[in-house]
Amino acid sequence: MGPLNRLVGALREASHCVALTGAGISAEVGIPTFRGSGGLWERHRPEELATPEAFWRDPEKVWRWYAWRQELVFSRGPGPAHTYLARLEEAGYVKAVITQNVDGLHILAGSRNVVELHGSIRRVRCTRCGHREELAGPVREVPPRCARCGGLLRPDVVWFGEELPRDALSRALEETEKSDLFLVIGTSGAVYPAAALPALAARRGAVVVEINPEETPITRIASMVFRAPAGEVLRAVYEELS
């Protein structure tokens, strides 16, 4: 049996398949990943842009970078990988998507049970009154101010050194513990606690599958590995199943 048929068979048999996704799943629509060649962290230092300390030191600088990323994200739609993952959920094969991405593309693609572990770049939060607001497009002024209290707004994302939203983390743990098939798609497995989820799933007896053109720390616990772009693999899987 070929590797694709093995995955198709596993999806048919699974009672609770969960996908964990990272920046690689959005790479195909032109949103750069963080690590690897051409990655954002090659050109920028995370501690200067993605920490609370960096924000309070220079909110304008941090916001310029986020405004640039918002321009990028708001101008892109879901790619094939987001779309086929949503279709796999609609067809009942995938039960949940846990994502480290802040681009909102899984939700736009039609995935329903989405856990956004690192928040959303499409939302802002007031650092003074806590008010949250969904944006229709990139922020216009930098740094933006709260319409309610005039406080400084921040992107509603998780920065290094911050805790993950409690509700998202507990939902992610719950889905992982329930899973018997765990797809790890487009993540380097470098950032915790998300990177711990595949091992947790494996300990609970789930079959771990990696879809990533590069080797990662997840590879050694994966029973099936696809060294190809996510969109290609998910399209082939979906077509085989339907």
d(CA 229, CA 51): 30
Go through 111-131 and write b for each residue having 16 or more CB atoms within 10 A of its CB, e for each that does not.
beebbbbbbbbbbbbbbeeee
Residues in the chain, total: 242
Site for ligand OAD in 30-49 (CB under 6 A): 33-36, 39, 46
What is the C-alpha radius of gyration for the chain, rounded to an integer number of angstroms?
18
C-alpha–C-alpha distance, residues 19 and 95, integer Å = 8
**How far is residue 10's CA from residue 152's CA, in Å, rounded to a whole number?**
48
84 binds ligand OAD (CB under 6 A): no
Point out the residue whose Cβ comes nearest to ligand OAD. 24
Residue of 20, 27, 98, 172 interacting with ligand OAD (CB under 6 A) = 27
| C-beta of 147 vs 190, nearer to ligand OAD | 190
Active-site annotation holds for 82: no
Q: Which stretch binds ligand OAD (CB under 6 A): 1-9, 18-26, 108-116, 138-146?
A: 18-26
Residue selected from 8, 19, 49, 191 as contacting ligand OAD according to rule CB under 6 A: 191
Q: Which of residues 41 and 145 has its CB atom nearest to ligand OAD in the complex?
A: 41
Question: What's the rounded Cα separation, in Å, for the pair 58 and 105?
Answer: 29
Q: Is 24 in the site for ligand OAD (CB under 6 A)?
A: yes
Contact residues toward ligand OAD (CB under 6 A) are 22-24, 27-28, 33-36, 39, 46, 50, 100, 118, 158, 160, 186-188, 190-191, 211-214, 216, 229-230
